[in-house]
């Protein structure tokens, strides 16, 4: 049995990670800002030292990509994504425990159509969020030896807001929706990802990884069409370019294709196809909504 501290336990991923670990018989201690302010080094030191974990799974982050561009928010975004991550890495080093850091495809420039390799070091973040997540990565890799840096994309989970829930809600209200079709990637179901992170925590196969569901690369437009198809909605989806859609303050990557072959090369089980993940997810959220 391992003792695992999970940050961001109230978020989509942290919630599922805690449940997955408990289901495996591990002792999972979930914390959020009320229990541990990651920007406060003293708080981080105190809480993590008291828990004395074998592994810290760091899911907490500033993830409001557009809001991160606001001048008044930038110091807070850096404090959470960079300084907070560094605080955790430093105490993990002191306690000699493993750390799993959740990162993002936004550390790359999003150009071309070649899938990004996990060990690629050609970082060119396009926005504040991407830069701070990269700086968090660099803090972890420079401080620790026992680390997993896991980049994910397009996440959806039961416990929180996400693209699937947004589409389901909008699809009930409007007969047609405009969705971008020039940003390409693969969705990640937090329930499936949590299983992989637990698998990683049980090993010492450290390094950089990419983890999204299998099933091929798609656009947000493709994803929306499949959401409505599986949900039985008649909502019409109109494909538009990112430029035509407008609205976004942060520059988003066009190419979010992540190469995940390192997972199988190192003995980890890939995540199921995103179409299957979506089917399971829709059953879960519709059950919760219908109760």
Q: How far apart are CA 14 and CA 18, in angstroms?
A: 6
For residue 30, the cross-strand partners are 6
Q: How far apart are CA 192 and CA 20, in angstroms?
A: 10
Q: 62, 38 in Cβ contact below 8 A?
A: no
Closest by CA position to 196, among listed 209, 185, 184: 209
Q: How far apart are CA 61 and CA 55, in angstroms?
A: 18
Q: How far apart are CA 18 and CA 95, in angstroms?
A: 21
Helical H segments across the chain, by residue range: 12-23, 41-51, 74-78, 85-95, 128-143, 163-173, 190-201, 220-231, 242-245, 261-265, 274-290
| Annotated active-site residue in 15, 106, 129, 208 | 129
274, two tokens: 């995103």
Q: 140: which residues sit within 8 A by CB, 6+ positions away? A: 85, 89, 99, 101, 147, 149
DSSP-assigned letter for residue 103:
E
Q: 279: which residues sit within 8 A by CB, 6+ positions away? A: 230
Phi, psi of 4 (to 5 degrees): -125, 125
Active-site residue flag, 129? yes
Q: How far apart are CA 104 and CA 224, in angstroms?
A: 21
Residue positions annotated with a catalytic role:
129
């Amino acid at each position: 049995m391992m003792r695992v501290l999970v940050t961001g336990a109230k978020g989509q991923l942290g919630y599922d990670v805690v449940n997955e670990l408990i289901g495996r018989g591990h002792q999972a201690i979930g914390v959020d800002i009320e229990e541990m302010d990651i920007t406060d080094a003293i708080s981080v030191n105190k809480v993590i030292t008291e828990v004395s974990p074998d592994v810290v799974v760091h899911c907490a982050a500033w993830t409001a990509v557009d809001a991160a561009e606001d001048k008044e928010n930038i110091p807070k975004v850096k404090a959470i994504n960079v300084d907070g991550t560094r605080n955790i890495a430093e105490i993990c080093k002191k306690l000699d425990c493993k750390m799993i850091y959740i990162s993002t495809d936004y550390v790359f420039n999003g150009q071309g159509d070649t899938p990004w390799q996990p060990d690629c070091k050609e970082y060119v973040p396009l926005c504040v969020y991407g830069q701070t997540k990269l700086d968090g990565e660099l803090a972890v890799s420079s401080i620790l030896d026992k680390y997993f840096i896991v980049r994910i994309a397009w996440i959806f989970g039961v416990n929180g807001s996400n693209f699937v829930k947004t589409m389901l809600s909008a699809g009930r209200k409007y007969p047609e929706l405009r969705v971008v079709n020039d940003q390409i990637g693969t969705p990640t179901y937090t329930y499936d990802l949590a299983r992989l992170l637990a698998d990683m925590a049980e090993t010492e196969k450290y390094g950089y990884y990419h983890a999204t569901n299998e099933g091929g690369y798609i656009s947000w437009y493709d994803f929306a069409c499949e959401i409505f198809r599986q949900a039985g909605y008649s909502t019409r989806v109109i494909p538009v370019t990112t430029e035509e859609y407008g609205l976004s303050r942060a520059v988003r990557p066009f190419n979010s294709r992540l190469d995940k072959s390192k997972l199988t090369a190192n003995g980890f089980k890939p995540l199921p196809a995103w179409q299957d993940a979506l089917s399971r997810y829709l059953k879960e959220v519709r059950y919760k909504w219908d109760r």
